[in-house]
Structures are given as C-alpha cells and as structure tokens.
Amino acid sequence: MHAIQEWVNSHLIEWGIISSSATEIDNLIVLLLIILATVAIDYICRYIFLNMFKRLAKRTRNQWDDLIVERKIINKLMHMIPAILVYALLPLAFPPDETPKLLGILQMICQIYIIAVSLRFINASLNVVHEIYNRKESLKNKPLKGFIQLLQVAVFFIGFILIISILIGKSPTTLFAGLGASAAILMLVFKDTILGFVAGIQLSANDMLRPGDWITMAKYGADGTVIEVTLNAVKVKNFDNTITTIPPYALVSDAFQNWRGMSESPGRRIKRSINIDMNSVCFCTPEMLSKFRKISLLTDYIDEKEKELKAYNEEHHIDASILVNGRRQTNIGVFRSYLVNYLRSLPAVSKELTCMVRQLQPTETGIPIELYFFSSIKEWVLYEGIQADVFDHVMAVIPEFGLSVFQNVSGSDLRSLKVPQ
C-alpha cells in the first residue's frame, strides 16, 4: 500500500500538482481504495457466509436459525467487518507521523461506529432469544421480557460509557469508578427499573404471574388478561378492551387475584342462592309424594327415603296420626334432593368437583337455598349461559313442590290490592 501511495504521489506531481497538495490527494485516494476494498470484502463475505447460512437454515428443523435469517442478525453482524478493516488500514492512508490528529479522529469515528453496530447486533440477538423462548411451551408464559430488557439496558449502558470514554480520551474503568461514587443518584434515577427487576424475579420464581393470565386488581381497576410483563409495567387488557398498566412491584406488595387456577382446574365454580318463602314449607302428604314419584329424577329417592322413614318410625313405635311425631319428608327437603339429582344429570356440570345444594341461615328474606357446583365449561359466555339456564329451570320448578320464592313487595303488588270502598 505504501508503494501504491508513492506511485500515486509521483504521478500527481507529474501532472503539475504541487508536492504538499499531491500528498493530501494521494492520502484521500488511498483512503478511497481502502474503502472500496473493504466494501468488496464485505460484499464477498455477505454473499458467501450469508447464503451459506440461509441454505443451512432451510435444511434444519430448528426454529432459531430461521429466526436469525428472518431478523437479519447475520447482516447486522456483517456491518462490523468494513468498520474493523477501515480502522486497521487507516494508518496506510494517514501515517501517524504525518497526520496524527486526522488519523485519531477517523479511528475514533470507526471505534464509535463499531460499538454502535455491536450494540445493535446484541440488542437484535436478545430479541431473537426472547422470541425463541416464547415459542417453547414450557417457557411460553414465563415473564422473560423483563430480564431481556434488563440485559438490553445494561448493554446499552456499557456501550454508552465506552463511547464517552472514546470521546473524552479516558479509560472506561475511570468512568465506572466515578459512577460507583454516584451510585445513590443512579439508584434514584433507575428506582422503578430496579424495583421492577426485583419484582420480576419474585413473580417468576414464585410463578405468581404469566402473560395470558386473567387477573383482578380492584385498586388499579384491572380485570382482564395480562398481555405483557416488562421491567416498568404489567399491561392488562380489561374485558372492556381498555388497557391498565400496573407497576410490577405493586403486584408483589399488594394483593391481586389470579384466575389461572380456575382455568387449569376441571371446572369453574357456580355459587348462587335463591330465597324460599318460609310460609310455603310443609310436610309432604301422600298425594304430594305420589306426585313427586312421577318426576323421573325423584322416583328412586322417594321410594328409598320412604322405606327408611317407615322403618325408623315402626322401630320407635311412632304414632303416625300426628305429623309432628317421627320423621317425615318435607317439600323443601324433596326439592333439595331434586336439585342435586338435576345438577348431576347435566353434562356441563363437572363430575370431579363438589356438587351440592345446601340450606343457609334463614333471614327476614326467607330461606336461602344455595347451589354450589362447578361448570366443566369455563369460557365466559358459555359459562354465563349455563348458569342462567340452571337458575331459569330452578325458578320455574319451585311451584311444582308447593314452594314459593320470597320477593319483597313491589309497586305492582300494592297497586293490585283492592282497597275497600
């Protein structure tokens, strides 16, 4: 390269250019030749290595190499080759003993460019790592984005320090030592990031939260699906399609409800009661029992229960002429048994989980009969439909047992009263 520089210099002098100008021009010509050579080498490397990697990616079944090709990670890495070559060959165009300042400036620009390209490559690589892990079923719902973001922040922070050290001509260790002295200020500036990182570790280690979980947090008005977990925010898409952002550390310090357990369980709970008027409760007469026997869900129950009660009353010599004596069936007891058999007969009711009908403490609004069971269908719209169908049937069947629903007096009830003239 030095011989080429002398040959160019001599020809420039022959063409009438003065010696000082010829030296500057031949330096620029050598620089141009260096740039052309590096561009050519860059093109050859891209053509050879990039095409080779693409062919290998097509032959393999792995997803990571396809993502590397799609996200052009190799292209970003190749951008470093020209900058490194130019940095190494610059002394040929601008000898240190002749133009030390210009050489220093150009090499500083190359160094900054190399660092910037490296940061871009590392950032893109971390994004690809995050995408690869998201495609794995075992790690798909782990909040890894916060850790990736922390690595990206750390990488860019180190890159920024390196660039500053190049510009001011100081060692990076000197800058890092100075930053150590101002750690309190840095902790104040990056307080939310540090808290978010610590909270992210706790959420992940304890498996408290995953993207895709349905959570409820009344304090922040959140009731929906977690769509993203980052260092500074957990984004929740509410069922009204609004987005609520929650600081990650709030999920650790405050209480929130995660419905994942329900989603992963065999069923979703339905717990609802209906109030029966206490005045409609009575002992079952033979006519009532004969009517109840015709109900297919009660036939076996009525027969077995009657045998049990008859055997008990005969054993204890009960006087059956008085209803209070002995044990007898009541219309509300038969009604509860009917509801249990009815729920168990429904295909949408889980057979693995608890299914019961219980009587709660009577109040001034009647006797609460609570239905406690689990729907095997957990999807919201269908779940609400099943719940409504069950209670539609319950309210419609109550009069068949001689019972009545308790309901407070309304305006229409008062208007229907006939006032004596």
Measure the CA–CA gap between 59 and 69, rounded to whole angstroms. Answer: 13
Strand, helix or coil for residue 344: helix
Q: Nearest to residue 368, comparing CAs of 357, 353, 383?
A: 357
CB 199 within 8 A of CB 251: yes
Tokens 């090499």 sit on residue: 107
pLDDT band at 18 (very low <50, low <70, confident <90, very high): very low
| Domain extent listing, the chain | 2-202, 207-261, 268-412
Q: Are 393 and 346 in contact (CB under 8 A)?
A: no
Q: Is the pLDDT of residue 412 over 80?
A: no
| Residue among 381, 345, 358 nearest 268 (CA) | 381
Q: What whole-number percentage of the chain has pLDDT above 70?
A: 81
Q: CA–CA separation, 146 vs 312, rounded Å?
A: 69
The mean predicted confidence, pLDDT, of the chain is 81
Counting beta carbons within 10 angstroms of the beta carbon of residue 269, is it exposed (0 to 12), middle (13 to 18) or buried (19 or more)? Answer: middle
Residue 236, φ and ψ in degrees, nearest 5: -120, 125
333 vs 306: CA distance, rounded Å: 13
Residue 396: alpha-carbon gap to chain centroid: 42
User: Six-digit token pair at 80?
Assistant: 């470093």
pLDDT at 21 over 60: no
Q: Determine the pLDDT at residue 19.
A: 46
- Which two three-digit tokens encode residue 173? 């260790």
* Residue with more model confidence, 147 or 16: 147
Here the tokens at position 207 are: 């498996």
Q: Which residues pair with 270 in a beta bridge?
A: 373
Give mean pLDDT, residues 328-335: 94
Q: Which CATH class is domain 207-261?
A: mainly beta
Confidence of residue 50 (pLDDT cuts 50, 70, 90): confident
Most confidently modeled of 144-148, 190-194, 260-264? 260-264
Q: Please state, in angstroms and as integers, the Cα–Cα distance from residue 218 to each residue in 45, 71, 254, 270, following that order.
A: 57, 40, 11, 21
| Spatial distance between the Cα atoms of 183 and 213, rounded to a whole number of angstroms | 37
DSSP string covering 308-327: HHHHHHHHTT--TTSTTSS-
For residues 156 and 176, give the distance between their C-alpha atoms in angstroms, rounded to a whole number.
14
Q: What integer pLDDT is reported at residue 32 of this predicted model? A: 77
Token pair of 88, please?
Answer: 């190494």
- On the question of pLDDT at 420 being above 60, the answer is no
**Which run of H or E residues covers position 244?**
strand 243-246
CA 369 to chain centre: 39
Cβ-count burial 177-189 (b if 16+ within 10 Å, e if not):
eeeeeeeeeeeee
Considering the segment(s) 268-412 as one domain, its CATH architecture is 2-Layer Sandwich (3.30)
Residue 48 Cα distances to 43, 57, 119, 276, angstroms: 9, 14, 24, 83
pLDDT surpasses 90 at 374: yes
- Residue 414, CA atoms < 13 Å, CB-side half-sphere: 4
- Say which amino acid occupies 55: R
| Overall average pLDDT of the 317-339 stretch | 88
- Reading the block at residue 274, the tokens are 């209906």
Question: Matching CATH topology for 207-261 and 268-412?
Answer: no
DSSP assignment, residue 158? H
Main-chain dihedrals φ then ψ at residue 275, nearest 5 degrees: -90, 130
Contact of 278 with 405, CB cutoff 8 Å? no
Q: Could you read off the pLDDT of 107-166 as tens digits, one per residue?
A: 888 888 888 888 888 888 888 887 777 776 665 556 666 677 778 878 888 888 888 888
Sheet with 356-359, edge to edge strand ranges? 268-276, 367-375, 356-359
Alpha-carbon distance of 414 to 191, in angstroms, equals 64
CA neighbours within 13 Å on the CB side: how many for 388? 6
Closest CA to 229 of 286, 298, 148: 148
Say if CB 69 and CB 57 are below 8 A apart: yes
